Structure 1
Amino acid sequence: MSEIKYDRVKKKLKSLIENGEYAAGDKLPTESELMKKFDVSRYTIRRAAGELENEHYIYRIQGGGMYVDEWQKQRKVGNNTKMIGIITTHLADYIFPRIISGTDRILSGNGYSLILSNTHNDRENENRAIQRMIGNQVDGIIIEPSQSALPYRNMEYYQKIKDANIPALFINAHYPELDFPYLEVNDLQAEQEMTDHLIEMGHKRILGMFQVDDMQGANRLRGFLDAYLAHPEISYMSQTIMYQSTQDMNPIFKRAVSALQSNEPPTAVICYNDELAIQMMNVIKSLDLKIPDDVSIVGFDDFIMGHYVIPKLTTVQHPKEKMGVDAAKMIIDMINGKKVESKKYKLNLIYNDSIKKTDEDRKKK
């Protein structure tokens, strides 16, 4: 039981220090005050304090009490833990396993191990993950930011990474306010090209469905709208459905059904990603509409499951493993003090059987 109590006290004090409740140089409460605060024995307090002292979070002055150490400056390049933290929005599904696989291949080959954290695209989870990575004294952090398009950002937590001298980089999205390097895809350009392609195939009424609380979705929406703006004669025919990752999707699908059953239904649907596109294919088929004869549909990211649906899904390539490999190489270079450059991947469009020219366009030819 004393082991459990000691660990609880240690974690709580460590959290208070990392969160800035006690700054470097601050005097901590006395042993007696901490005993009362945590309702534990003096032995438990001393054991917790001893561990924190070993980890350079506190130091003791004989007869003068306990003080917060310069814990953020205790990280030394030659004293690394050989651990890299990876914080993603969705760890075990969609495209992320292949990104992590690429990262792990390079890092393990260089003697590093991984600490993985899944935020479920929630910023509070991201805050806790960052604190955990700092507490574990990782040598570097690779972050896919959560809800990256929303105005409030976890800048104070990213600042803690900088203060702790931990190399960090972003994947899939980045914040211009920070000087962290990043790896991301050119979402805007790829979505614009895909929309242009559908318009060239005769599709005038296209429904765009985009998750807009992350930068990927916001940029894909912009690409969709920019393509229409380049065709002012049909720009008024575009339709959009926007949603956030925290929303119940049932009302979103109902809005899509209403659009598909309207007097002037869309002849094509562009989806935020392949996962949504596969769900929409089921919705379209439930309305006794045929793909692509009645409705063309495209996704984004080249998700493996899109290869097995019928018809095979038209999509945009995402450099999953390559992004993981590049991220691993970059973070190792940063740990070794080398300068790295951010990179934005140009994507290839993959045309499959889920799209076709409209009857009107075929008649013209």
Structure 2
Amino acid sequence: MDTKYDIVKKGLRDDILSGKYAIGDKLPTEANLTEQYGVSRYTVRRATSDLEQEHFLYRVQGGGMYVDDWNKAPATTSDNKVIGVITTHLADYIFPEIISGIDRVISDEGYSLFISNTHNTYERERQSLMRMIETGVNGLIIEPTMSALPNANKDLYDQIRDLGIPTVFINSTYEHFDFPYLEVDDTNSEADLINHLIAQGHERILGVFKVDDVQGAHRMQGFYKAYQQHPAIALHSNIIMYQSNDEASNAQILNKIETHLEAADRPTALALYNDALAIQTIDLVKSLGLRVPEDIAIVGFDDYAMSHYMTPSLTTARHPQGKMGRDAGRMLLELIKGHPVENVRYDSDIIIRDSSNHHVN
């Protein structure tokens, strides 16, 4: 549990890092801070003295405390070589392989990982970014949060750029930032999946895509692209769109899918945003007394480890999880060394398995 001193120091430092107090701004008086935090004047003086030593503020004799030009201050952390990694999730799905790939590369160069996750919320992303800045990491590898929407933490990314912290995005990128990135060719990969379903005789295909991240937006574009190549059956297609907040239980998403499956002109195939949702959807389809793939064909995306072992095994597009991690680590090391790098876009192989390997008569 943080002490009162820690709470005051962290609160003031976060206010400075977040831009609440800009460089040159005068801070509240010790008396005001004492009242604000409900602590003694000694505690406030101790916290502000530490921040002064760390170049976050300076004092003017008889004039109060002001925010120092902390952007140009030397890092206050130890000499340890640390790479910060921020992902939307940590413990499951494709992320362990990505993180393992990063670690394999950067550990060979003497770096260790400082890992955080955002749960795909801007508030948690903000906390993660501020911790990384405070820690003084040597570089950052970040999976953007809700990357298809206007960036809520642009001020912190501007600070990262101004501080010169080498930064790489994975899986997607934010508009208006020139940080290098690595991503899958989601559009063409999804188009390949839909064209596979059409080749199997499916016309009534329901696509289910997340709309607040770039990956989902691109996969939905791939869905459109496939039907543009087959305009005669485009009228039979349908789409459900959802956002990250809907993923808390997925109940609303699955309820929407169920409504379509119970319709007289139900779809004969489903294309899900990712394998995690596809696996849940297979359970839903079975619970309705329908067979996969005989009644409903299903495809996912990402080639999650469980996709191969479930029954039926899942048709999907392969995400280069470990390779992306290794390539991101190498790209960041090149940036740290001051070398130029180029963005990477991976072609994704389509893995045809039992969940869609059935021709419609």
Q: TM-score range by the shorter chain?
A: over 0.9
Of stretches 53-62 and 204-213 in structure 1, the one that deviates more from structure 2 is 53-62
Deviation at 1:75, TM superposition (A): 4.1
Aligned 8 A contact 1:204 1:267 in 2: yes
Local SS of the residue matching 1:173: coil
The 3 A distance-change label for structure 1 pair 152 and 258 is same
CA distance, structure 1, for counterparts of residue 152 and residue 66 of structure 2: 31
**Which position in structure 2 is the counterpart of 1:348?**
349
Deviation at 1:293, TM superposition (A): 1.4
Identical amino acids, percent of aligned pairs: 52
Deviation at 1:6, TM superposition (A): 1.5
CA distance, structure 1, for counterparts of residue 224 and residue 234 of structure 2: 8
Deviation at 1:184, TM superposition (A): 0.5
**Which position in structure 2 is the counterpart of 1:232?**
231
* Per-residue deviation, residues 239-275 of structure 1 (Å, max 9, x unmatched): 1111112125223222222222322222211111110
- Any gaps of 5 or more consecutive residues in structure 2? none
Local SS of the residue matching 1:256: helix
Aligned 8 A contact 1:72 1:163 in 2: yes
Instruction: Kindly provide the amino acid, as one letter, of the partner of residue 210 in structure 2.
Output: Q
Pairing 1:13-32 to 2, within 5 Å after superposition: 13-32=12-31
- Any gaps of 5 or more consecutive residues in structure 1? 361-365
CA distance, structure 2, for counterparts of residue 299 and residue 236 of structure 1: 22
Of stretches 295-304 and 151-160 in structure 1, the one that deviates more from structure 2 is 151-160
CA distance, structure 1, for counterparts of residue 201 and residue 25 of structure 2: 69
Deviation at 1:45, TM superposition (A): 2.4
Deviation at 1:62, TM superposition (A): 5.1
Aligned 8 A contact 1:72 1:165 in 2: no
Of stretches 178-187 and 244-253 in structure 1, the one that deviates more from structure 2 is 244-253
Aligned 8 A contact 1:81 1:139 in 2: no
Aligned 8 A contact 1:81 1:138 in 2: no
**Which position in structure 1 is the counterpart of 2:261?**
260
The 3 A distance-change label for structure 1 pair 261 and 10 is same
* Per-residue deviation, residues 137-157 of structure 1 (Å, max 9, x unmatched): 111111111111124543222
CA distance, structure 2, for counterparts of residue 328 and residue 8 of structure 1: 34
Whether 2:331 is the aligned partner of 1:330: answer yes
Deviation at 1:321, TM superposition (A): 0.7
Aligned 8 A contact 1:84 1:139 in 2: yes
* Per-residue deviation, residues 206-263 of structure 1 (Å, max 9, x unmatched): 1111111111111101101110111111010111111112125223222222222322
The 3 A distance-change label for structure 1 pair 185 and 80 is farther
**Which position in structure 1 is the counterpart of 2:118?**
119
Whether 2:3 is the aligned partner of 1:4: answer yes
CA distance, structure 1, for counterparts of residue 172 and residue 74 of structure 2: 27
The 3 A distance-change label for structure 1 pair 26 and 234 is same
**Which position in structure 1 is the counterpart of 2:179?**
180
**Which position in structure 2 is the counterpart of 1:166?**
165
Aligned 8 A contact 1:211 1:242 in 2: yes
Local SS of the residue matching 2:231: coil
* Per-residue deviation, residues 66-113 of structure 1 (Å, max 9, x unmatched): 33221111247xx96511111111111111111011111112221212
Local SS of the residue matching 2:3: helix
CA distance, structure 2, for counterparts of residue 197 and residue 359 of structure 1: 12
CA distance, structure 1, for counterparts of residue 152 and residue 24 of structure 2: 29
TM-score, scaled to structure 2: 0.93
TM-score, scaled to structure 1: 0.92
CA distance, structure 2, for counterparts of residue 105 and residue 156 of structure 1: 32
- How many equivalent pairs are there? 358
Instruction: Kindly provide the amino acid, as one letter, of the partner of residue 256 in structure 2.
Output: R
CA distance, structure 2, for counterparts of residue 339 and residue 276 of structure 1: 38
**Which position in structure 1 is the counterpart of 2:273?**
272
Whether 2:134 is the aligned partner of 1:135: answer yes
**Which position in structure 2 is the counterpart of 1:292?**
293
CA distance, structure 1, for counterparts of residue 212 and residue 349 of structure 2: 24
The 3 A distance-change label for structure 1 pair 137 and 206 is same
Deviation at 1:13, TM superposition (A): 1.2
Deviation at 1:56, TM superposition (A): 1.8
Local SS of the residue matching 1:13: helix
CA distance, structure 1, for counterparts of residue 117 and residue 233 of structure 2: 42
CA distance, structure 2, for counterparts of residue 86 and residue 70 of structure 1: 26
Instruction: Kindly provide the amino acid, as one letter, of the partner of residue 266 in structure 1.
Output: P
Local SS of the residue matching 2:348: coil
**Which position in structure 2 is the counterpart of 1:363?**
none
* Per-residue deviation, residues 121-166 of structure 1 (Å, max 9, x unmatched): 1111111211111111111111111111124543222112112221
Instruction: Kindly provide the amino acid, as one letter, of the partner of residue 136 in structure 2.
Output: Q
Pairing 1:186-265 to 2, within 5 Å after superposition: 186-247=185-246, 249-265=250-266
Aligned 8 A contact 1:75 1:165 in 2: no
* Per-residue deviation, residues 253-301 of structure 1 (Å, max 9, x unmatched): 2222222232222221111111011111111111221111111111100
CA distance, structure 2, for counterparts of residue 57 and residue 9 of structure 1: 14
Local SS of the residue matching 2:244: coil
* Per-residue deviation, residues 21-69 of structure 1 (Å, max 9, x unmatched): 3222333344444334434334322321232123221234555543322
**Which position in structure 1 is the counterpart of 2:306?**
305
Instruction: Kindly provide the amino acid, as one letter, of the partner of residue 176 in structure 2.
Output: E
Local SS of the residue matching 1:338: coil
Pairing 1:32-71 to 2, within 5 Å after superposition: 32-61=31-60, 65-71=64-70
The 3 A distance-change label for structure 1 pair 66 and 206 is same
